[in-house]
Structure 1
Amino acid sequence: MRDFLQRPETIAALLLATHIFLVAVAAVLVSMNRRPSSAIAWVLAIIFIPILGAIVFFFVGYSKLPKARRDKQREVNSLVLSRTEGSPLVSQGQDWPEWLHSAVALNNNLGALPMVKGNSAELLPEYNGAFDVMIAEIDSATSYVHVEFYILALDATTAPFFQALERATGRGVAVRVLSDHLSGLMFPRRKETLALLQDIGAEYHPMLPVRPFRGEWQRPDLRNHRKIVVVDGRVGFTGSQNLIDASYNKKGNLKRGLMWHELMMRIEGPVVRELDAVFATDWYSETGVLLALESSPGVPGQGSAFIDAQVLPSGPSFDNENNLKLYATLIHKAERRVSITSPYFVPDESILLAIVTAAGRGLSVELFVSEVGDQSLVYHAQRSYYEALLRAGVRIYLYRAPKVLHSKHFTIDEEVAVIGSSNMDVRSFSLNMEVSVLVHGRWFVDAIRGIEDENRVNSRELRLEDWLRRPVAQKAFDNLARLTASLQ
């Protein structure tokens, strides 16, 4: 028997049988509740690189947060729904386009937050100027300041923001701060940043910490990508900007002269309470402490100067891909124009279909992306979609270097817009915790359209004939990079 087991052909047969068994098991496990394209990509990875593929799948193959975190999300959702049922703050949408009602109902079912009326808003397209406005509001705080950023770093640009937090704690204001754990490890001066927060009396917690020896573990690339500041439940900020210098303090960026171009939004009114509920959920997930969910957000404003707004949180703490469903719905509902700005554009199949279908229906469809990229695989993966978009009639604008267009927003027709932290890519749809704000208001859309017009002036339009002439090596690398997008 020993001789039989030691024969080369026996060993080869056993290895083959083991491989077949692993592939069969993987096919079943991988395909459960997963898109067919993603399942096929994972199965192929396990077939061709069985050991490495299985190890990688073990670490990053499951795209939901642990059950305890998802249960906390459901708990807060229930509390939020109970406080808003029948509320006079909820907009009835008498002046909405007819198609918007179903999109708002979808968001309410997905994220548990309603479309509320009577909000004022201001767009903040200037990088340091956005910090200045936030600092002024923090200096007016009397009760609390909530700060949540994917990247939070102390540097020469952000030092005044931290000084404002210190002044707030000195007045007895409660300052609570969250930032993503792993992203913080990738940037300089993390120890100094955390030490300062402790010294000034702010309460800080990392989001989604990956510290297995403390029992803190989930898929490591599930990250919290939200950007939120709320002051006293009165004024809030959200958008694309992180709390860091516009160069992101990286030597490569400084050498190339790269500077990030962002868009933030300052909001007042009932929607601030809904944005604060997203912060409260993340705080509860990281600390086990459920902050009071404000029940009286004030009287909504009236008139054409005010907007209806609906906050939509999304990410692996939810059972659905909330932002993906919202974005696909809005693009399909559009009747005249779709304008998308996304620094990382690696669309899900449904989003790509919605965009090319909109162009095929005769709508004016345009996409703003950066001419340069800071993440090589994502940059090349998104380039692999350009040909299909151009052939469908989508106009693509490449924002000129050395600025990196990092804003995240899009507009539908003349009255509807979305702004927030979410890219239009598979990572933001499936793996990152994001926050988006759906807005109805003609003047607000006009304001974003003004920013889109400025971006168009600062971009060069990509033409199909020029794109098809790019080197073969670039085409090959773009298409190979695209394959990685399916491993979700």
Structure 2
Amino acid sequence: MNPTLWSLAGGALHILIVLVAFFVVPVNRKPSSATAWLLLITIAPLIGVVIFLLIGSPKLTPRRRQLQHQMSGLIAQAIEQASGDRATAALLKPAVPAVAMPHTALAQKLGGMPAFAGNGVELLPTYNAIIERMAQEIDGAQRYAHIEFYIIARDTTTEVFFAAMERAVKRGVKVRLLLDQIGSRKYPGRKEMEQHLTAIGVAWHYMLPVGKPGEWLRFDLRNHRKILVVDGEAGYTGSLNVIDRTYHRKDELYYDELCVRVVGPVVIQLEAAFVTDWYAETGELLDPRKYPELQRTGWHAQGTALCQVLPSGPGFDDENNLRLFTGLINAAQRRLVIVNPYFVPDDALMLAVTSAALRGVKVTLINSEAVDQLFVASAQKSYYEQLLRAGVEVLQYKLPILLHSKTIAVDDQIAMIGSSNLDIRSFTLNLEVSLVVYDTAVVAELSKIFDTYIARSKRVELQTWKSRPATQRLIENVARLTAALQ
């Protein structure tokens, strides 16, 4: 063909691809994300289209979304049935304080779980002690242990956890375990760990397996939840994975975490998140009528805290965690503390944080000087100047520890502890779980932990930050733009 005709045909194809993209890409997508995709497709149409077809949809498969809807209905039905008598209703349908009511209503609408009263809450900020405490909990199990973590690795630190699972199985306890396939794949001894889990009798499955016959999933849709439930009586969640504190890195970096142990009615909400994921991966619905070890004898108060679990992720229609976090931040009147290793907000969240500071709320953002994900860290830093100009106090946890805790505290009344980062990945692509606690005593304890974080952090000053090299600014801006490709 004549070179001129080739050129004209190529130009026409380019225009056609871009026009079709304008009809397809913006549908049910945020303007910032749609703009980034359209820019990529316009600049490099063939490459852009291929990438969009591979990772353009941030949702789980229709089967998994339908399963989530099914489980949400079953959970609501079970809660309604359990609320039959007056004593139980006082725990499962409690009077909610006015300050908490907008948030409990929103979280229930999004995740299907109401706030439950009568819970005991214990904050656990020490890495190895958390793993040892969970192992002790499994050692106390009489009926079952349900375990779900993004990363699980067998090493010298976690051997106590694996040994507890083995002892539990030997005494007749049913141990079910879920771990993310991609999250756990790169750590030493994975094959040996799989064989060990099978050999000791643990029922285990990978979450969101890539390449499963008959199911196409984006490789970067991951289950990032961290949950342990023992006998329906005690539950754990937070930021910690079951792995050595160094994550087997070759450098000097290691991690600090925050987890929470809960007892009381809210434990069953963590259980519901696990049961949903187990059903999705195995096709086995853990119905207490079929599995006697799951049957409950009743509901009992184990404390005074009002608590609520919010599951989120691409199985839901909405970005559950983003909506709740934005609502909590907008409600702050005096003090707002945000601790998160990855702060790459969307426009609504960024507006909420800066508006809080501008209206006089003391806003503190604590993340880390240490970097384990270069591109995310660069994108995060691109927001510092805007935050500092608005009056947000930005603190960096000093090297070589990466502060991996994920929590928000609003005034002296509400705390959120969970697995969710404050970035587009956690809002859109990851399955996450968040525990919201409406209790002043818990927030007071959390504030003491914040004080330890602040004591080993350094403040980012606006004038110093503005003088950083132009090359650093360029890297940050490029990383910020690509973060919108979700």
> What is the root-mean-square deviation of aligned Cα atoms in Å?
1.3
Q: Confirm or deny: 8 A CA contact 1:149 1:225 kept in the other structure.
A: yes
Corresponding residue for residue 184 of structure 1: 184
For residues 466-481 of structure 1, what are the structure 2 equivalents within 5 Å? 466-481=464-479
Q: What are the Cα deviations for residues 81-117 of structure 1, in whole angstroms up to 9, with x where unaligned?
A: 11223721225345x2x24212111111111111000
1:176 alignment partner, SS class: strand
Corresponding residue for residue 90 of structure 1: 92
Out of 321, 324, 330, the position equivalent to 2:322 is: 324
Q: What's the offset of the Cα at 1:301?
A: 2.6
Letter in 2 for 1:432: N
Corresponding residue for residue 258 of structure 2: 263
Output the CA distance in 2 between the equivalents of 1:247 and 1:183: 15
Output the CA distance in 1 between the equivalents of 2:473 and 2:17: 34
Output the CA distance in 2 between the equivalents of 1:118 and 1:417: 16
Q: What's the offset of the Cα at 1:138?
A: 0.4
Corresponding residue for residue 62 of structure 1: 57
Q: What are the Cα deviations for residues 416-463 of structure 1, in whole angstroms up to 9, with x where unaligned?
A: 000000011111100000000110111100011111111000100111
The alignment status of 1:52 with 2:47, answered yes or no, reads yes
2:306 alignment partner, SS class: strand
Alpha-carbon spacing, 1:295–1:438, altered in 2? closer, same or farther (3 Å): farther
Output the CA distance in 1 between the equivalents of 2:95 and 2:246: 42
Q: Which runs of 5+ in 1 are unaligned?
A: 1-5
1:85 alignment partner, SS class: helix
Corresponding residue for residue 384 of structure 2: 386
Corresponding residue for residue 86 of structure 2: none
Corresponding residue for residue 347 of structure 1: 345
Q: Confirm or deny: 8 A CA contact 2:149 2:241 kept in the other structure.
A: yes
Output the CA distance in 2 between the equivalents of 1:297 and 1:309: 21
Corresponding residue for residue 101 of structure 1: 101
Out of 283, 286, 311, the position equivalent to 1:291 is: 286
For residues 92-171 of structure 1, what are the structure 2 equivalents within 5 Å? 92-94=94-96, 96=97, 98-171=98-171
Q: Confirm or deny: 8 A CA contact 1:180 1:224 kept in the other structure.
A: yes
The alignment status of 1:278 with 2:273, answered yes or no, reads yes
Q: What is the number of equivalent residue pairs in this alignment?
A: 474
Q: Confirm or deny: 8 A CA contact 2:124 2:130 kept in the other structure.
A: yes
Output the CA distance in 1 between the equivalents of 2:428 and 2:274: 20
Q: What are the Cα deviations for residues 31-56 of structure 1, in whole angstroms up to 9, with x where unaligned?
A: 11000110010011011112211111
After TM superposition, the structure 1 stretch with the greater mean CA deviation from structure 2, 217-226 or 179-188, is: 179-188
Corresponding residue for residue 416 of structure 1: 414
**TM-score of the superposed pair, with normalisation by structure 1:** 0.95
Corresponding residue for residue 291 of structure 2: none
**TM-score of the superposed pair, with normalisation by structure 2:** 0.95
Corresponding residue for residue 13 of structure 2: 18
Q: What's the offset of the Cα at 1:188?
A: 1.8
The alignment status of 1:238 with 2:240, answered yes or no, reads no
* Identical amino acids, percent of aligned pairs: 47
1:113 alignment partner, SS class: coil
Q: What's the offset of the Cα at 1:297?
A: 7.0
Q: Confirm or deny: 8 A CA contact 2:33 2:485 kept in the other structure.
A: yes
Corresponding residue for residue 39 of structure 1: 34
Q: Confirm or deny: 8 A CA contact 1:150 1:226 kept in the other structure.
A: yes
Q: Confirm or deny: 8 A CA contact 1:273 1:297 kept in the other structure.
A: no
Output the CA distance in 2 between the equivalents of 1:72 and 1:224: 15
Q: Which runs of 5+ in 2 are unaligned?
A: 84-88, 289-293
Output the CA distance in 2 between the equivalents of 1:364 and 1:297: 46
Q: Confirm or deny: 8 A CA contact 1:145 1:176 kept in the other structure.
A: yes
Output the CA distance in 1 between the equivalents of 2:215 and 2:307: 35
After TM superposition, the structure 1 stretch with the greater mean CA deviation from structure 2, 396-405 or 305-314, is: 305-314
Letter in 2 for 1:193: M
Output the CA distance in 2 between the equivalents of 1:75 and 1:296: 22
